Amino acid sequence: MRMTAADSWTAFRDSTGNHGSADTGLQTFFLNSYSQRYQQAFSMINNRQTQKTMTGSTVVNQQFYHYPPGILDLADCTVNINGLNYPIIADDSILQWDRINLVLISVTALPQFIFPRRDDFGIWPIPQGVYTITIVAQLRDRSLNDLVDYTAGTVSCTNNSVTVTGVGTNFTSNMAGYWFVMNDTTQPGQGYWYRIASVQSTTSLTLETYYVNTSVTGATYRIGQSPELPEETHGYLVEGSIADYKAGPKDDQNAAAYHENKFWTGNGLEKEREGKIFTAGILGAQQRYAGRQDGAIVWQHGLSTSWTERMWASGITP
């Protein structure tokens, strides 16, 4: 089940015996812990739900290009030449990269390899034209720090429309990227979560995807921040924060270990975290979504054949 940051804050307080507490020190502790646990899990669960697609342009005779801010990992890359998207193979071997850059090649050859570095990536052969390049990357998400869901007024939604119209609402621009849900769950399609693409005014916002249920008027709703992770992991982030709370302010190491185990494995009594198959916890999600990328064609973690066998760019021109 999808949880907003407000849901997680409530669950944390209920589980730690602080039900309904408005203590600012406790809130600050939770926000720090929750943000760290979220970023930790986000960096581990590398899949279609945590990746974003970005486009840019190559520059004639420029080989290296800086990453967008906040990038964790490069998953996939294509370059569009004459209307066709050509996959570019990512390879981490600096030896192979140095070797292919010594090869003389036709200036009209297609870009074939991408070489990731810490702050930028290289393309080989060096682009000789201005091409649209598309990368699928794992980007670090913003910290979740809004612990109050927005519920003022009512909304109207139309089937197969992305527009939400409010009455008595005060939508703000920072809600872009937040999640929207109808409170009524009596019909299929209601109770589904939609990411907000943009906010046009205090009474109008746009969803990223079309509203799938029958049209409604004067309905109650809520808007909140929510982790960009598979929904089954949301509760485990709270378990991580509970573990931090028990280990720190409460100095209860046994309870801390129990919740730490739940964060990683989904089982408070499961201490082992290596060499096993997990069905729950952050490790279970990591294993479940491993290798599921956004791109249609993905090469990662080096290549199985030699660099000479893979270097076919000299024989193909756009």
Structural domain that includes position 115: 51-140+298-315
Inside any domain, residue 202: no
Query: β-strands 179-182, 193-201: how paired?
Result: antiparallel
- 22/63 same-domain check: no
Inside any domain, residue 83: yes
Give me the chain's average pLDDT, please.
Answer: 86
CA 22 to centroid of chain Cα atoms: 30
CA 130 to centroid of chain Cα atoms: 29
- 32/65 same-domain check: no
Domain count for the chain, please give it.
2
Question: What's the rounded mean pLDDT across residues 101-126?
Answer: 83
- 22/60 same-domain check: no
Inside any domain, residue 199: no
Nearest to 240 by CA among 77, 46, 61, 38: 38
Residue 92 has pLDDT above 80, yes or no: yes
Express each pLDDT in 174-233 by its tens digit: 999 999 999 887 777 668 999 999 999 999 999 999 999 889 999 999 999 999 898 999
Residue 317 has pLDDT above 70, yes or no: no
Q: Would you tell me the crossing angle of helices 281-288 and 234-247 to the nearest 10 degrees?
A: 150
Q: How far is CA 259 from CA 83, 94, 256, in A?
A: 52, 42, 5
- 9/57 same-domain check: no
- 119/74 same-domain check: yes
